[in-house]
Amino acid sequence: MTPYTEAVGGASLTYRFTLPADAPSKVKVHVVVKSTLDFLNVGGHEYTVSLDGSEPQVVNFNKTLVDRQPYMYSEYYPAVARRIVEKVVELPVGNAAVHELTLSPRHPGIVFEKIVVDCGGYQPQYLFGEESPLLRNEK
């Protein structure tokens, strides 16, 4: 197991999935991570999100997760109570039949909890609803 302070050097998660035929040209991706504090003192931990090889968007999920004003009551305490931080990124959808969503940590210690791809109509719910079925292509 790698210590949580080691460099992430090219680490990434890639998910392949299909979208409905009537999917919009952009989707909202909800990324849920563990409510980790900025233990490296780098101004917040970051990860990138990209869809179908598009330009990765950088997300800093804990820059304002501090126990001082003005973030203490609006962000810190709610995140500590929920133990998660959710960020939403809007990404363009490519023309591929099978899409690839890639998440890459830019700092160590990031724990990805859940990813939701919203094609429209997503309703916030406790623990983000049911998991999608897993279909494997056996060779």
* CA-wise closest residue to 117 among 49, 70, 45, 71: 49
Contacts of 68 (CB under 8 A, 6+ apart): none
The residue among 8 and 130 whose pLDDT is bigger is: 8
Q: Which letter, b or e, does each residue of 34-45 get, where b requires 16 or more Cβ atoms within 10 Å of its Cβ?
A: ebbbbeeeeebb
Lookup: tokens for 30: 């909800």
Residues 36-66 pLDDT 10s: 888 888 999 999 999 999 999 999 999 988 8
Tell me the pTM.
Answer: 0.83
Query: What are the beta bridge partners of residue 104?
Result: 48
